[in-house]
Amino acid sequence: MKKNAWWCSAGLSALALSLALAGCDGGAGEGGGDSGPGDPAPARDKVTKMIEELDRICREQTVYMVGPEKGARLAELVRAHEPSVVVECGTALGYSGLWIARELEKLGKGRLISIELDADRARQAREHFEQAGLSSRVEVRTGDARELVRKIREEVDFLFLDCNYSNYEPCYSGIEDRLKDGALLVADNAGIGAVGMQDYLDRVRSRHESETEWFEIDLPWGKRDAMEVTIFRKAAR
């Protein structure tokens, strides 16, 4: 049931990246129409500035992040799926969470539960969400994601895995009972980290509709990577 897909063969164009960072798709937004629910222009501008700042910090300090190419795709998936509850395993400094939470704010609904093992990074991420004006959309939980996902009681319709590769399958197994039928599963680093997460990839590819989306990226630790995007079906468990 696995498919191979190529979403961004040459990286995003400068225009596409600027639109993605600005949180618009070329239609609405500053100078492009009315803002959507919960999406005032000042808040969107604060998010853009914070994403750009974290992009710089992560590159300088080698804090692994999705980067703008995959971040834009992640935002697009959130926008299309319109989730009520998103769970992210691996907060780091909050870079990918900003891309997710901004879309939830634009949709005017939904919340992000982001889990981080490192207490100091979790604290910094909370501050970043606050500074970006998105703290009402995000709850950062500190601890081992493999354990904390089992304590989530809400139904989850979007799961983003971006933690240690060997933890992808345990995190997925721990939250599987809370996933809605049709939930979207997105696993970062499915290219450079494929070997380390092979048990997870084998499981979702053999049971669900799953695509490997490849990207050319421009990060200090890699120039090409992928995300595994899977549609979860309860009947296929």
The tens digit of pLDDT for each residue in 142-171 reads 999 999 999 999 999 999 999 999 999 999
The pTM assigned to this predicted structure is 0.84
Domain residue spans of the chain = 2-236
Q: Residue 124: what pLDDT?
A: 97
- What's the whole-number average pLDDT of the chain? 87
Does the domain at residues 2-236 carry the CATH identifier 3.40.50.150? yes
Q: Residue 168: what pLDDT?
A: 98
The model's confidence at residue 233, banded by pLDDT at 50, 70 and 90, is very high
Q: Residue 43: what pLDDT?
A: 55
The tens digit of pLDDT for each residue in 17-42 reads 444 454 444 333 333 334 444 444 44
pLDDT above 70 coverage of the chain, percent: 81
The model's confidence at residue 118, banded by pLDDT at 50, 70 and 90, is very high
The tens digit of pLDDT for each residue in 63-114 reads 999 999 999 999 999 999 999 999 999 999 999 999 999 999 999 999 999 9
Q: Residue 1: what pLDDT?
A: 62
- Exposure of 178 in the CB half-sphere (CA atoms within 13 A): 20
Q: Residue 127: what pLDDT?
A: 97
Q: Residue 28: what pLDDT?
A: 32
